[in-house]
Amino acid sequence: MQLLCPHCESELIRSGESKRRCEACHTDFILSIECHECGEALQRLKACGAVNFWCDHCNELKSKSSASYILVDA
């Protein structure tokens, strides 16, 4: 999934598991994934190459489409 810098709309490069970096404006971001329904942070679960998310608050498994990607300035 390709994310764009919220400041300059350049493509962000992956600099870690949940880190992204904008080379154009030299800004580091932390990628946080939140539940679409309740806004709680989701835990990333990896199984057989597919990524799913677990919400502690809803107490259920979430697919990518139920997750909101939030970029936080590091």
Instruction: Indicate whether 3 belongs to the interface with Zn ion (CB under 5 A).
Output: no
Exposed/middle/buried for residue 19 (C-beta within 10 Å: 0-12, 13-18, 19+): middle
Instruction: Indicate whether 67 belongs to the interface with Zn ion (CB under 5 A).
Output: no
Nearer to Zn ion, 7 or 44 (CB): 7
Q: Quote the least distance from Cβ 47 to Zn ion, whole Å.
A: 19
Q: CA-to-CA distance for 6 and 19, rounded, in angstroms?
A: 14
* Residues found near Zn ion in the complex (CB under 5 A): 5, 7-8, 10, 22, 24-25, 35, 37-38, 55, 57-58
